[in-house]
Amino acid sequence: MRRLLTLLVLLSICLAGALGGGWLYLNSMMDTPGSRHAPVNLEVVPGSSVRRIAASLEKNEVVGFSRLFEVYVRARGLATRIQAGEYLIAETDSPRDVLDKMVTGRVLLHSVTLVEGWTYWEMLGKLSGLEVLEDDVSSLDPEALMAHLGAPGAHPEGRFFPDTYHVPRGTLASKVLRSAMLRMDDELAQAWSARDPELPLDNPYQVLILASVVEKETALASERPTIAGVFSRRLQKRMRLQTDPTVIYGLGQSFDGNLRKADLERDGPYNTYTRRGLPPTPICLPGREALMAAARPVEGKALYFVATGEDDGSHYFSATLEEHNQAVARYLTKLRQKRREQR
């Protein structure tokens, strides 16, 4: 009896040692990166079993033995806590690092950028073409889309803040647009609260409209407050804005890249050569600098501006029509000279 008891004790010690050694080996395996030499994108689809995930990890050389990884996950009680999504696994990530990412849901985020100066239709076309997003917007007309985003009756042009948004694969495009719409609401509210007390605009939406025009008129951040100042003074004096970008926007898809005299003379809601005041809606997505420029334009006397013809895209500002006409003549001369040099 004593001999049997001794044997059982020895067997228990051996078993405990084997289990302890096995657990130490499992932990060592979990801390050892696989044999891959490049990052791996792993997609865990909803409802995936631990065995399927482990097999995929072994196939991609993230773990050496899928069954051992599965045993560890189940032993830790983590099988039901792994979250679906796309994960970026670096070369240096150990199986434990990978498991921690999947349990905490640290999915790979993709950049979705809305660019300053894009029109609504340009933005929609770009979003619907991104394979990381689920397109639920391109089939909706503008009115239906804005209602879907929680802004029924609002015109969509200019209502989305241009920035880079980071989202996981499979995000609804409408979710990105809603985030961008709320951002624009916040940015516009900040610009309106910081506005010049003498600003000749009645509400934040008019700031948004003017900012969109400023955005289209120049790519130089340093010029935006000055251009906004020109437009503000023209509004105060009840002068027409006479800005080409609004006319081009009004032409829509019929614009072929060449703005003609007939286009400037043809009346329409966006023709600021034939109508006073602002156009009825924004004409693009304005950025933060354009919003602040429209809310706080630079003081001065300039009422006109024209491109200098320099490669930096700068403009010459004039206080009188005579000075402006001279600047236009210089610009046209420089333009003809450049064309001759390019032949």
Burial of 21 (0-12, 13-18, 19+ CB in 10 A): exposed
With respect to residue 191, please indicate whether it lies within any of the assigned structural domains. no
What is the domain-level CATH number for residue 39?
3.30.1490.480
Q: Are residues 289 and 202 in the same domain?
A: yes
Q: Are residues 177 and 224 in the same domain?
A: no
Range of the domain at 247: 196-342
With respect to residue 2, please indicate whether it lies within any of the assigned structural domains. no
**Number of domains into which the chain is organized:** 3
Q: Are residues 119 and 103 in the same domain?
A: no
Spatial distance between the Cα atoms of 164 and 284, rounded to a whole number of angstroms: 17
* Angle made by CA atoms 49, 52, 54, in degrees to the nearest 5: 105
Q: Are residues 206 and 320 in the same domain?
A: yes
CA 133 to centroid of chain Cα atoms: 12
Q: Are residues 102 and 121 in the same domain?
A: no
Q: Are residues 155 and 282 in the same domain?
A: no
Q: Are residues 321 and 220 in the same domain?
A: yes
Q: Is the pLDDT of residue 23 over 70?
A: no
> Mean pLDDT for the chain?
90
What pLDDT does residue 1 have? Answer: 56
With respect to residue 334, please indicate whether it lies within any of the assigned structural domains. yes
What pLDDT does residue 14 have? Answer: 43
Q: Which of these three, 50, 72, 107, is where a domain ends?
A: 107
Q: Is the pLDDT of residue 325 over 90?
A: yes
Question: How would residue 26 be classed by pLDDT, with cut points 50, 70 and 90?
Answer: confident
With respect to residue 81, please indicate whether it lies within any of the assigned structural domains. yes
The per-residue pLDDT for range 254-301, each reduced to its tens digit, is 998 899 999 999 999 999 999 999 999 999 999 999 999 999 999 999
Q: Are residues 55 and 182 in the same domain?
A: no
Q: Are residues 302 and 211 in the same domain?
A: yes
With respect to residue 326, please indicate whether it lies within any of the assigned structural domains. yes
Spatial distance between the Cα atoms of 162 and 120, rounded to a whole number of angstroms: 11
Q: Are residues 176 and 202 in the same domain?
A: no
- pTM for this one? 0.85
